[in-house]
Amino acid sequence: MADWVYLCRVEEVAEGRGRTVEAAGARVAVLREGGEVTVVGDRCPHAGGSLGSGWIEDGEVVCPLHRWRFRLRDGRCETVRGHDAHRYRSKVDEGGVWALL
C-alpha cells in the first residue's frame, strides 16, 4: 500500500527545473513550474536519462540525454507515444513536497 512520503522542500527545486530524490525505494524527479510541483519517475523510458536533471519547456519536462519530452500534467510522452513517465500524486504541505509512493 502506498504512503505519503516526504521528498524535499519546495525551495530546493529551482523554478523551471527538476531535482532527483530517492525515497521509499523509489527514484523520482521533483519538478517545479509556475508555483506548481509535479513528481514523476526519474528514469526516461528511452535511454534511462534522469528527468530530475532535465528542464521544463511549455509545460513539459525535457530529458537531458536525447530531448524526449513528457507533459507535467499527466506524464504523457510527446516524443513517442506509449513511452510515458509515471506521474505520482503529490502535494505541498507547509513548504514540504510529499508524494504517494
In order along its 101 residues, the chain shows pLDDT tens digits of 789 999 999 999 999 999 999 999 999 999 999 989 999 999 999 999 999 999 999 999 999 999 999 999 999 999 999 999 999 999 999 999 999 99
Give the chain's domain count: 1
Q: Produce one character per residue of 7-45: b if its CB has 16 or more CB atoms within 10 Å, e if not.
A: bbeeeebeeebbbbbebeebebbbbbbeeebbbbbbbbb
CB neighbours of residue 94 within 10 Å: 7
Q: Which pTM was predicted? A: 0.96
Judge whether 87 and 38 are in contact, CB under 8 Å.
Answer: yes
Give the per-residue pLDDT at 29.
98
Q: What is the CATH number of the domain that holds 59?
A: 2.102.10.10
CA distance 16 to 27: 20
Domain span at 43: 4-100
Give the per-residue pLDDT at 1.
76
